[in-house]
Structure 1
Amino acid sequence: MRLDPKLKERARAMRANPTPAEQKLWLALRANRFENRQFTRQTIISPYIVDFASKAARLVIEIDGDTHSAEDRYDARRTEFLESLGYHVIRFGNPDVMENLEGVLSVIGEAMRNPLSQPSPLGGEGF
């Protein structure tokens, strides 16, 4: 399947300019550091770009900033589409990652071990 060149360029630009929360989580996930699983960032699952994905674990992780509060319907459609492809989608807010990285990693680990269960709330906008 050939990827849209504009989508590829946008993903590349997003990888070059991550948000502080994305950068912090990426440092914990990259290079099989987290539970020996490979994650990619700003990954194209056409027609979308997801923040982080583990294709082997069928897991998508989204880090939502303040602008996402107005995009609930878009996010719901996007999540529905990704779930139709067999992905489990979990979302965290920027404050969740910046202030409680260990809690975020705990929820990610639980989602990878039990892909059909929903992550338990820890607090913050994304939990």
Structure 2
Amino acid sequence: MEGCLKGGVVINGTPIKLNPILDLPYQPRLKGSAKSLRQAENLPEVLFWMQVHKGKFHQLDFDRQRIIGNYIVDFYIKKLGLVIEIDGDSHDNKVNYDSIREDYLISLGLKVYRVLVDDILRHMDFAIMGLEDYIVKEYGVSSG
């Protein structure tokens, strides 16, 4: 693509700097749990997945229910080192847990983007635009 960094992506006319984090910790004991979560067909996750899998979102490869350390994240973009979490009611009573988890992910050099279940269910276009805007803001290469 014209104006795109080698092996990179352009979103809304902005070249995106890749930030692959290649050596992430992995707990094999969570493999069964991750598989169960993928098969559970959580509606917001499935709807989001339908928008982003197979390169539908700017040719980026998404992993669903990816194991990182002792945690399983909703979605992960390897090329960017970006975790995407879909937050619903299950997060209401886990503020401390979510904070510790997010701090851990950030300590690995990852970024974390959160989107609300309601946005996925009622405003998918805006949820996708919000993700694009976040990526441009955090990874965009200015031309000046």
1:97 aligns with 2:97: no
Q: Does structure 1 conserve the Cα–Cα contact (< 8 Å) formed by 2:26 and 2:68?
A: no
CA distance in 2, matches of 1:74, 1:42: 18
CA distance in 2, matches of 1:46, 1:76: 15
Consecutive unaligned residues in structure 2, runs of 5 or more = 1-23
Consecutive unaligned residues in structure 1, runs of 5 or more = 118-127
Summarize the alignment of residues 60-75 of structure 1 with structure 2, pairs less than 5 Å apart.
60-75=83-98
**SS state of the match for residue 135, structure 2?**
helix
- The one-letter amino acid of 1:111's match is Y
Summarize the alignment of residues 1-127 of structure 1 with structure 2, pairs less than 5 Å apart.
3-115=26-138
Superposed CA offset, 1:74-111 (max 9, x none): 10111111111111111122111000111111111122
- The one-letter amino acid of 1:112's match is I
Identity %: 32
| Higher relative contact order (Cα pairs below 8 Å, separated by 6+ residues) | 2
CA distance in 2, matches of 1:43, 1:62: 11
CA distance in 2, matches of 1:2, 1:80: 15
Alpha-carbon offset, residue 116 of structure 1: 6.5
Output the TM-score relative to the length of structure 2.
Answer: 0.75
- The one-letter amino acid of 1:105's match is I
Deviating beyond 4 angstroms after TM superposition, the runs of 4 or more aligned structure 1 residues are none
Output the TM-score relative to the length of structure 1.
Answer: 0.84
Q: Does structure 1 conserve the Cα–Cα contact (< 8 Å) formed by 2:25 and 2:68?
A: no
Alpha-carbon offset, residue 59 of structure 1: 0.9
CA distance in 2, matches of 1:2, 1:36: 25
**SS state of the match for residue 29, structure 2?**
helix
Larger radius of gyration: 2
- The one-letter amino acid of 2:135's match is M
